[in-house]
Amino acid sequence: MPSEAGAAGTPQREAGRERLDGLGQVGRQRARSGAGTWVTSYQCAVCGHVFDPAVGDPDTGIPPGTRFEDLPDSWTCPVCGSSKADFEPVGG
């Protein structure tokens, strides 16, 4: 049986819409992926580079839509060469 939580016009739906409205257009594009699932970008703690799943890392063959969790363990920061373990979630 489908849940009524989050249906159009409900307080849950309105709260989510307000969060997205406060992000601006670019933030909304980065915050949402697919059918309302939240996407988290990850930032390198060493140099500040942000891995954005919507963009991927085309220089190393990582296509747009790739989640950070799905990057190979051998992936490194394209700016400073730090390991995947040096990235921290931001946003979402």
If you compute the radius of gyration of the chain from its CA atoms, what whole number of angstroms results? Answer: 16
Please give the backbone phi and psi of residue 44, each rounded to the nearest 5 degrees, phi first: -70, 125
Question: What are the pLDDT digits (tens) for 9-67?
Answer: 544 444 444 444 444 444 444 444 444 556 689 999 999 999 999 999 999 999 999 99
3-class SS at 30? helix
Which residue bears the tokens 């990057």? 71
Confidence at residue 39, expressed as pLDDT on a 0 to 100 scale: 67
To the question of pTM greater than 0.85 for the whole model, the response is no
